[in-house]
Structure 1
Amino acid sequence: MTAVAVLNHRQLAMLRAVAGGRAEITCSCEPDLYVDGLPCCDQSSARDLVQTGLLRAAGTGPTGQRVTAALTDLGRAALR
């Protein structure tokens, strides 16, 4: 079973928000996700999405700075 096969509804909603250009992520080894400018209610799931390679920062910046969140190829595949 792949990581994509076990995504819950909340994680899929996070990926859809990123795909819609509504999300930012902090530059950090433990990144935080923001949707529509508000902190995501499930930061552990957001970090899991980064660690499993579904989500990434679109740019770079100093630690703690928010940058645009982007889907990886695997993240885009999870939404199909």
Structure 2
Amino acid sequence: MTPGELNHRERAILRAVADGRGELLAGCEPDLAIDGGWCDRIAVARLIAGGWICAVRPARAGDRVPARITDVARSRLDIAPALTA
């Protein structure tokens, strides 16, 4: 999937994850929450399968783990790394 193939919802999800606001619920079909609210499962599945979003560390099914955009996604979208405290 190229940046031009992303819809507005997927771009908003990527911006939120890049800002450090995303959390994945690990499983065979992971779910993504932004600020505690669950995202569109189809959009999330496309972003994960397309290599745009991943977990910050390995997780077992049922674990919640912070999400991050991949380095490839960051370079394709020209997004600066999130600032950490």
Give the TM-score category using the shorter length. 0.7 to 0.9
The residue correspondences of 1:20-59 to structure 2 (distance < 5 A) are 20-40=19-39, 42-59=40-57
Structure 2 partner of 1:9: 8
Structure 1 unaligned residues grouped into runs of 5+? none
Aligned-residue RMSD, C-alpha: 1.3
Match of 2:59 among 50, 61, 64: 61
- Encode CA deviations 1:22-73: one digit per residue, 9 max, x unaligned: 0001112211010001111x11111110001010011122202110001112
Any conservation in 2 of the 1:17–1:23 contact (CA below 8 Å)? yes
Number of paired residues?
78
Paired with 1:78 and 1:63, the residues of 2 have a C-alpha distance of: 30
Paired with 1:74 and 1:44, the residues of 2 have a C-alpha distance of: 21
The alignment's TM-score, normalised by the length of structure 2, stands at 0.82
The alignment's TM-score, normalised by the length of structure 1, stands at 0.87
Any conservation in 2 of the 1:15–1:79 contact (CA below 8 Å)? no
Structure 1 partner of 2:81: none
Structure 2 unaligned residues grouped into runs of 5+? 79-85
- Superposition misfits of 4+ residues, deviation over 3 angstroms: none
